[in-house]
Structures are given as C-alpha cells and as structure tokens.
Structure 1
Amino acid sequence: MNEKKILAYLQEHPEFLLNHAADLGVRPAEGRVQSFAQAQWLAQQKKAAKMAGQLAQIMQDADSNHQTLGRMLGFVRRLLAANTLLQVLRAAEAGWQEDFALPSGRVWLLAEPPKKGAVSGAYRLPENHAAHAALSALKEPLCGNRIAPALMKALPQEGRGLESFLLLPLRVNGQTVAVMVAGDADETRFTPDLPLDWMRELAACTAAALARAGGW
C-alpha cells in the first residue's frame, strides 16, 4: 500500500484513528486524544459550513429562476392578449420595459409584414436608418459591454449612459424580421457570459406572435 496516500487520508480524516483505535490496538497519548477530537470537530464544522454554502447557493438560484419565470409569464400573457401586429409590438416593448425593468428597451420591426393592412406605426425602423443593416444581420443574441457603433443607434439617445447591452433578433423562417434591444447603466447586468436560455425562449415567443399577426 502507498504510505503517502494512507498518511494523506489520515490527515484529512483525523477521526479515523479514534474511531478504530481499539481494532488497531492503538492507544493515543492523552494529549493527542484532545487534539484528534478537536481536529474531528473542526473537520465537521468545515463540512457543515460547505454544505450550508451550497444550500444557500441552491436557494438563491431557485429564487432567481422563480423571479425570471414570473417575468416570462407576464411577458407571454401580454403577447397572448395582442391580436394585431401593432398590439404585438406594443406588448413586447411594454413587457421589455416593465416586466424586465428595462426602461431603455425598444422593439424595432425591420421587415415589411406580408399581411395586408398590418400597421406597425413608429415601430418600423426605416431601411435607411443607420442601425437597420447591422440589426438585420443579427442571427444570435448579442450580450456584453461593447457593441458596434451602428447598433448603438438603435438605443434611446444612441446608448449614451448605458454600460451593458442585450440585443435579441426575432427570426421567422430564417429571417430577422424584428429585434429587441436594451441597455443598462450597470455594466454587470449584461455580461458576455450571461446564460441566455430564457432570453432565447422570450425571443421565440415574440417571433411567433409577430409571425401570427404579421403574416410571415
């Protein structure tokens, strides 16, 4: 047997010798018994603290997921209540701003809807707008502290005062027909490593509502 491995195990589990002293014929010195007991207590305290930390993280993650789910459901309810294209666009932008607390959030329609009479109002971004080409080229969500200057022009006041950004392309049949954009003054809100599973679902729901109302 490897003595180093045995020694390492005993150092990590000092209670082992105490628990099996009789079986091994070992009688620790009087002073050692106390130190072993103390080490055992410290080891148990360390394990308990680690478990408590893990449990706290699990509860924090569960609470965060619960809040996100609530916001998602509120957003989807808005979409379900909308019938016309203009109503869908209004619902998406209101949900973006209110349910997700993003006052800078905007929804831009990039493509002309096939459905006749589908009014898009001020949500239609003209093709000659400085951000139109860059937004139309988006195929995946974009999240981080830096975005192209052209994309900044799609945000209120061209993104001045905002330190982190999230852009969600709304795609129907392989085409980006609209986009949801938002920024925040907090540079840590939208970081490049932010998980985007929920946001992808949000974009998919919004794209489905647009397709229904706009005839795509």
Structure 2
Amino acid sequence: MNSIETHAMNDSSIAEYLLQHPEFFERHAEMLSSVQLSSGHGQRAVSLQERQAEMLRDKIKGLEQRIMEMVRNSSENSAIAHKIHRWNCGLSAVQDVRQLPRAIATGIQTEFDVPQVGIRVWDVAGPYMGSLFTMGVSEDAKAFATSLTMPFCGPNLGFEPTAWLPNPEEVQSMALLTLRDGQNDSQSAAFGLLVLGSPDPLRFDATMGTEFLSRIAEQASAALGRLRVLPSGN
C-alpha cells in the first residue's frame, strides 16, 4: 500500500471517529483554538473556530444573495404579469374584430417596449379574407409556424416572417410566436404567427425563458380566434 492510500485511509478513519465521538472536542476544547487553518480570505492562519465562523458567514452571504435574486425575479415577474393583464384587458375592449391584429401589435409595442411587431393570420372567415393581416404568407411559412412547438427566440436568420415587420432590415433579434386553436396545443395546426423584432441582438436571446411569451401567444390566439368565425348576421 502506497503513502497516498495510507493517507486517505487515515483521513477517512479520523473523520469517521470524530463523527462517532463528538464529545472528543468537549474533552479537548483547547484544540479548537490551537489548530491553525488557512483562511479563506487571504494567506493568514486562523483557528478552527475562526475558520468555521468564516465559512458560516460566507454561507449566510450566499443565501442572502439568493434571496435577493428571488425577490428581484418575483418583482420582475409580477410586473410582466401585470402588463400582460393590462394588454389582455385592452384586447377584450376591441369591438371591431378587424382591428384585433392592430390592437395586439400596438399593445405589445406599448406594454412591453417591443420596437417592431408583425402579425399574420390565415384560414379566416370569408368577410376577413383579403385583409392586410392575411396577405403575404406562403405555404412554407404556414408549415414553419405549425412546426414550432414553443416560441422561437434568436437572431434574425432571414425567415420569411421577418418581412412582415415594418423595418425588417433593422432587426437583429426576434421572437416567433405561433397562434393555434384552443390552449395553443403544439399538436394543433397553426392559424397565424406573431413576430417580435428588436435592433438589440440580445433582446430575444436563444437562452431566455419563454413562459410569458407562451402566455402572450395563448391570449393572442384566443382573441384572434374571432376572425375564424362568421360575424353574427351572416
């Protein structure tokens, strides 16, 4: 057996003994102050008690930072949820169904400070065919929208939907939100696509969370579902 294995066995045996006999430090209390360890904050030597206190302070500091981060995230999430609620209330107040796509786009721009918003809807009822929000959508774009199982966030890769934005050449990052029937079930076919664009390349990053974007897609889908049925009286 080499010295490394012997050392490891001794360390293990000592640790096991101390765990099984905590009264050891009661019988030898002087060791707590006489044992010198390297400080975690510099090269100076400190007693076992001081080192333990340092470790506890570091642990408490780490927990405090985590709590502050949780509070900050909670505050941010609450603010976003309030904006979504306010935006949704605005959509509920729209009487003319033809104005819904514009209301959705302008609401997102205002509430969420998104520079550019584009929207297209297909498979609409007869009276709404030929509206601007139904034009310029290829079959490939429709198939692409259906293939998305969650909001796409990332750089502007030149997808066809980018052309639906007012100034597509300025877009550096974007989000694509599929509009579907029901609860935006990823298994159902898409009937529209919501496009968010920004000149900031990090605004819609591939690593960002998409929970709130999914909520926006669901609420937009529910509102725009009115375009897929004939207006009363027809």
Smaller-chain TM-score bracket: 0.7 to 0.9
Query: Which structure 2 residues correspond to residues 74-85 of structure 1 after superposition, within 5 A?
Result: 74-85=86-97
In structure 1, what is the equivalent of residue 25 of structure 2? Answer: 21
Are the equivalent residues in 1 in contact too, given 2:153–2:208 (CA < 8 A)?
yes
Distance of 2:62 and 2:14 partners within structure 1: 24
Determine if the alignment matches structure 1 residue 205 to structure 2 residue 219.
yes
What is the deviation of 1:120? Answer: 7.1
2:31 alignment partner, SS class:
coil
Distance change in 2, residues 1:49/1:124 (3 Å): same
Per-residue CA deviation, residues 130-163 of structure 1 (Å, 9 max, x unaligned), is: xx33431212222111434433322222x22322
Q: 1:35 aligns with which of 14, 38, 47?
A: 47
Identity among equivalent pairs (%) = 17
Determine if the alignment matches structure 1 residue 113 to structure 2 residue 124.
yes
Per-residue CA deviation, residues 182-216 of structure 1 (Å, 9 max, x unaligned), is: 11122222112222122122111111111124318
TM-score, normalised via structure 2 length: 0.73
What is the deviation of 1:80? Answer: 1.0
Query: Which structure 2 residues correspond to residues 24-173 of structure 1 after superposition, within 5 A?
Result: 24-28=27-31, 31-32=34-35, 35-109=47-121, 111-114=122-125, 116-118=126-128, 121-127=131-137, 132-137=138-143, 138-139=145-146, 140=148, 141-157=151-167, 159-172=168-181
Give structure 1 stretches of 5+ with no counterpart: 11-16
Per-residue CA deviation, residues 41-92 of structure 1 (Å, 9 max, x unaligned), is: 2112111111111111101210121121012101211221123321211221
The one-letter code sitting in structure 2 at the alignment partner of 1:27 is E
Are the equivalent residues in 1 in contact too, given 2:162–2:195 (CA < 8 A)?
no
Distance change in 2, residues 1:146/1:37 (3 Å): same
Query: Cα RMSD over matched residues?
Result: 3.0
TM-score, normalised via structure 1 length: 0.78
Are the equivalent residues in 2 in contact too, given 1:85–1:118 (CA < 8 A)?
no
Are the equivalent residues in 2 in contact too, given 1:155–1:181 (CA < 8 A)?
yes
The one-letter code sitting in structure 2 at the alignment partner of 1:172 is D
Distance of 1:90 and 1:117 partners within structure 2: 17
Distance change in 2, residues 1:9/1:43 (3 Å): farther
What is the deviation of 1:35? Answer: 1.2
Distance of 2:140 and 2:133 partners within structure 1: 17
Distance change in 2, residues 1:120/1:48 (3 Å): farther
Distance change in 2, residues 1:40/1:29 (3 Å): closer
The one-letter code sitting in structure 1 at the alignment partner of 2:139 is A
The one-letter code sitting in structure 2 at the alignment partner of 1:154 is W
Distance change in 2, residues 1:3/1:94 (3 Å): farther
Distance of 2:93 and 2:24 partners within structure 1: 70
Are the equivalent residues in 1 in contact too, given 2:87–2:111 (CA < 8 A)?
yes
What is the deviation of 1:26? Answer: 4.9
Distance of 1:212 and 1:29 partners within structure 2: 75
Q: Find the structure with the greater CA-based Rg.
A: 2
